[in-house]
Amino acid sequence: MIRHDVVIYVDGAALPSNPGRGGAGVVLLHIDTNGVQHKRCFGRYLGENVTNNVAEIHSAIEALAALKYPCNVTLFSDAQYVVKTMTDGWRRNTNHHLWNYLDDLAGKHNVTWRWVKGHAGDEYNELAHRYAEEAAKTMEDVNDALE
């Protein structure tokens, strides 16, 4: 049973170059039955020698794994690699274990995948980017700390 409508923004980072230290950034938005918006933001450190594409997939995985109940999800990513693979059948030539895990997580929810242009001023895309980069820079997970 679907319990909530959730909007999610995700972004991945590989620093200082690609591949590099990986970070996944997530912004979760939910409006409760009283009309109050709740926001949870976090970044996950993904380790060394991580490609940007792997970080982008991980950001969607981290976001969906954070949901406790089946939800209607609108997930925004600036990675066409992720959005087009999930919606338009782009070939999965690598990272099969990650794609399979993402498929499993997405199957627990009603997910609508949306592309958003990166670094174009979208507030929540920029925030997800900041969390991804901060996790990669500090080599630590970051929770609700960058606002």
Give the integer Cα–Cα distance in Å for 78 and 144. 21
How is residue 10 written in tokens? Answer: 């995700």
From 18-22, 35-39, 98-102, 132-136, the region with the lowest mean pLDDT: 35-39
pLDDT for res 37: 87
Provide the residue range defining the domain that includes 132: 4-143
User: pLDDT tier at 2 (50, 70, 90 boundaries)?
Assistant: low
Res 117 pLDDT > 80: yes
Burial class (CB in 10 A: 0-12, 13-18, 19+), 142: buried
33-73 confidence digits (pLDDT tens): 788 889 999 999 999 999 999 999 999 999 999 999 999 99
Give the integer Cα–Cα distance in Å for 13 and 17. 9
Res 1 pLDDT > 80: no
**Domains of the chain: total:** 1
pLDDT for res 50: 98
Burial class (CB in 10 A: 0-12, 13-18, 19+), 2: exposed
pLDDT for res 14: 97
Nearest to 114 by CA among 2, 3, 7: 7
Domain of 10: which CATH number?
A: 3.30.420.10
